Structure 1
Amino acid sequence: MLYSGMRHLNRAALLALLTLSGAAHATLENDAGTLLPYGPRVAGSPANEQARTYLEAQFRALGYDTRRQSFTYSRFDDLGSDVQVAGQTLAGTALQDSAGGTVQAAVVRVPGTGTPEDFARVDVRGKVAVVQRGQIPFLQKAQNALGAGATGVVIVNNAAGDFRGTLGQRTALPVLGVSPTAGEALKDGVTVTLNVRVREGDVTGINLIASRSGQPGSSVLFGAHLDSVQGAPGANDNLSGSLTVLEIARRAATTPLGGRSTFVLFDGEEDGLLGSRAFVKDNTAMVQGLKAMLNFDMVGVNVMPLSISGTPALMDTARRAGLPTAGSDIGRSDHVPFRDAGVPAAMFYRGEDANYHKPGDTVLDLGLVRETADVAVTLADAVLSATPAN
């Protein structure tokens, strides 16, 4: 069953929808029905903490001990940037490391992609330079615009939709990224108001860790990131993975698997795998004892059949168990710090759906979550069958 637009349902309607989904799997449906209405779970936000508190209570109710691991980092946030033209407000995204500010000036369409030669062909002094994405790094575009005297920069995406980007170092110019549709409205010579609203400051991320006390040391770690990006409710990215971890914990609660597992919901993944990096750094002995780290990211929308990619020996184990593998290219998610620390690691993934990092990320198929948990438990059992308990 697909859960679409759940943020827009009142509580009574939501509960009615969940009831219709079938009482046989009420627990997982209740989890989704509780968590999705919180909205985007950006690290450091109230919604992020609400979700973690709820999930912590679920782990404890299953008999697991929980603990929290905090870490602090600096983050650049777009507080809602746009460009106004001819009575329209066109949404955009400030590039990370952009200066903030409001600029009202005429547009100059810079030919090409913003190379020095491109800027030499037009006069952007005191104007807002509009350039195409591509060919050279964002920072070079901004530096070239600044050197030519522009007071602001708009970078137009070279593919459909908005984009997020990073300059790599602070710049004195406000720099906004927009979609091709928004870019079409920025005609040469028209006056615009460029609003780049940004904030930079410290954020505290919190990993949630669950395990059973008084049991043999953990051999398998099941992990997923709980945080989502600004503006995206994060149903598939990555409530789907978080609920997979919880579902596995439920199934394992009264089995030997539960005593040999650790379950972690990482924070700060969207800001650079920061939660998993902090975990690996601060839990060296435990990490070195792991036989497998299984990570779940975007497993709730069937863009493609479930695939597992990972380190070679672990993929050999998965193939012997008859599971769907996709080689050793395991992408960029919270398994990476574990792999880099020498832990056999695997990534469970169903592909990037159309609502990736967008407000429309409200779709979650709980049947796919259960299927992912099935496959993960099979792989974990295969790993443990070759690893006798202490």
Structure 2
Amino acid sequence: MRQPNVRAVLGALVAGALTLGSFALAAVENDLTTVLKFGPRVTGSAANEQARSYFEEQFRTLGYTTRREAFTYPRFDDLGSDVRVGERLLAGLALQGTAGGEVSAPVVLVPGVGTPEDFRGVDVRGRVAVVQRGQIPFLQKARNALAAGAAGLIVVNNGPGELHGTLGERVELPVLAVTREDGAALREGQPVTLWVRVREGEVRGVNVVASRPGVTQPDVLFGGHLDSVTGAPGANDNLSGSVAVLELARRAANTPLAAHSFFVLFDGEEDGLRGSRVFVKENPGLVQHLKAMFNFDMVGVNAAPLAVGGDSALVDTARQGTPTLGTFPAGGDSDHASFARAGVPVLFFHRGLDEHYHQPGDTLADPALIRGTVDTALRAADAVLGAVSAGK
């Protein structure tokens, strides 16, 4: 059977992006406004489920069928940890693997980053030790503090912003990370109350897979993660990428592109690429057949001009269609990495880390930037599927 002229159809799609009616142009804005109202989409949360249901409804309205892929994994949650200094409350983040608990004791400012030598110079027995981030892993800092007799440990960030981290193993010591500014407020011998509130247990994640009825073996998979981190509405990270995937499906509906594609919203990305790892593991035949996986993560804020990374041939293809497109080294800790490890050619669309990354201020994403990302992706998909049609 002769393949349809995918190149001609997709070329018309991209050109037509500039003349879409007002209803179509408003779709991206509506997606953003609707989903942001749900709040942070942490995997396992009600907001996460509300967002997933919204996207499923949109895919089905466009004529796609959807299915869910559920999975579980262990997760460590910070339920709101802090350190009280007099009447002042300093918010912090528990390092994954720490024990929970409340400790009221004087502060000891340990000179250095928490090596055994650093602790030998001070007496932290029964006290709250304070060390700087850097040089050695968090796990070693915590173990060294515990061996020295500390009742609690505070790790001060050595750069701007909050400090998210993991010990890697369980340590029976309350460990809290604070910002550089809050760390500077701690004084030697000052009484503090360190309160680390944590929960450990299983969390349920759910991927959404959309496709045209009857399509079971796609050539291209368009993906982005739906979840966000605690406290962050996640407009850019990564509602922008999820909306880009939906907009691609919207543009492709009733065209040959839909007959060659899957559209997937992954869950649990923020907890270690959980959803994409499960998808690759559970769909080996489908994954092995893929000619390309396009991943969209943080494409709604121009922290930097749109750029791509990944398979060198795909990067070259994308830049031929969009000469102004930037590039960055292959790699990146997002869902495309799960596919790259399985040997799939990947193309990662990204606009850099903006100042509100993983912060409560992540509330804005620019619809024009999302649509521009989609335009670029369509041109790259055109070339990929043109090669498929040609039997290359």
Q: Secondary structure at the match of 2:69?
A: strand
Q: Kindly provide the CA deviation profile for residues 156-175 of structure 1, in whole angstroms up to 9, marking residues without a partner as x.
A: 01012211011010001000
1:362 aligns with 2:363: yes
In structure 2, the partner of 1:326 is 327
Q: Secondary structure at the match of 1:270?
A: helix
Q: Kindly provide the CA deviation profile for residues 266-315 of structure 1, in whole angstroms up to 9, marking residues without a partner as x.
A: 00000000100000000111111111100000000001110111112222
**Aligned partner letter, 2:114:** G
In structure 2, the partner of 1:113 is 113
In structure 2, the partner of 1:3 is none
In structure 2, the partner of 1:247 is 247
For 1:30-69, what aligned pairs fall within 5 Å after superposition?
Answer: 30-69=30-69
In structure 1, the partner of 2:375 is 374
1:143 aligns with 2:143: yes
Contact 1:216 1:389 in 2 (8 A): no
1:133 aligns with 2:133: yes
**Aligned partner letter, 1:368:** L
**Aligned partner letter, 1:340:** R
Q: Kindly provide the CA deviation profile for residues 96-129 of structure 1, in whole angstroms up to 9, marking residues without a partner as x.
A: 0000000000000001111111111111000000
Shift, 1:389, TM fit: 8.8
Q: Secondary structure at the match of 1:134?
A: coil
Q: Which structure 1 segments of 5+ residues have no match?
A: 1-21
1:274 aligns with 2:282: no
- Within 1, Cα distance between the matches of 2:389 and 2:119? 66
In structure 1, the partner of 2:10 is none
Contact 2:318 2:377 in 1 (8 A): no
**Aligned partner letter, 1:382:** A
Shift, 1:319, TM fit: 3.2
**CA 1:24 to 1:247, structure 2 compared with 1: closer, same or farther past 3 Å?**
closer
In structure 1, the partner of 2:289 is 289
In structure 2, the partner of 1:100 is 100
Matched length: 369
Contact 2:305 2:326 in 1 (8 A): no
1:191 aligns with 2:191: yes
Q: Kindly provide the CA deviation profile for residues 208-239 of structure 1, in whole angstroms up to 9, marking residues without a partner as x.
A: 00001234731110000000011110000000
Shift, 1:328, TM fit: 4.5
- Within 2, Cα distance between the matches of 1:300 and 1:213? 30
Shift, 1:327, TM fit: 5.0
Q: Secondary structure at the match of 1:360?
A: coil
- Within 1, Cα distance between the matches of 2:198 and 2:58? 36
Contact 2:307 2:328 in 1 (8 A): no
- Within 2, Cα distance between the matches of 1:185 and 1:382? 56
Shift, 1:317, TM fit: 2.2
**Aligned partner letter, 1:313:** A
Question: Normalising by structure 1, what TM-score?
Answer: 0.92
**CA 1:48 to 1:159, structure 2 compared with 1: closer, same or farther past 3 Å?**
same
Contact 2:226 2:242 in 1 (8 A): yes
Q: Kindly provide the CA deviation profile for residues 163-199 of structure 1, in whole angstroms up to 9, marking residues without a partner as x.
A: 1011010001000000111112211111100010000
**CA 1:181 to 1:327, structure 2 compared with 1: closer, same or farther past 3 Å?**
closer
Q: Secondary structure at the match of 2:271?
A: coil
**Aligned partner letter, 1:146:** L
Shift, 1:330, TM fit: 3.2
Contact 2:318 2:376 in 1 (8 A): no
- Within 2, Cα distance between the matches of 1:174 and 1:331? 31
In structure 1, the partner of 2:17 is none
In structure 2, the partner of 1:13 is none
**Aligned partner letter, 1:190:** Q
For 1:278-317, what aligned pairs fall within 5 Å after superposition?
Answer: 278-317=278-317
Farther-moved stretch of structure 1 (320-329 vs 248-257): 320-329
In structure 2, the partner of 1:16 is none
**CA 1:205 to 1:371, structure 2 compared with 1: closer, same or farther past 3 Å?**
same
Question: Normalising by structure 2, what TM-score?
Answer: 0.92
In structure 2, the partner of 1:339 is 340
- Within 2, Cα distance between the matches of 1:292 and 1:52? 24
- Within 1, Cα distance between the matches of 2:122 and 2:329? 48
Q: CA RMSD in A?
A: 1.4
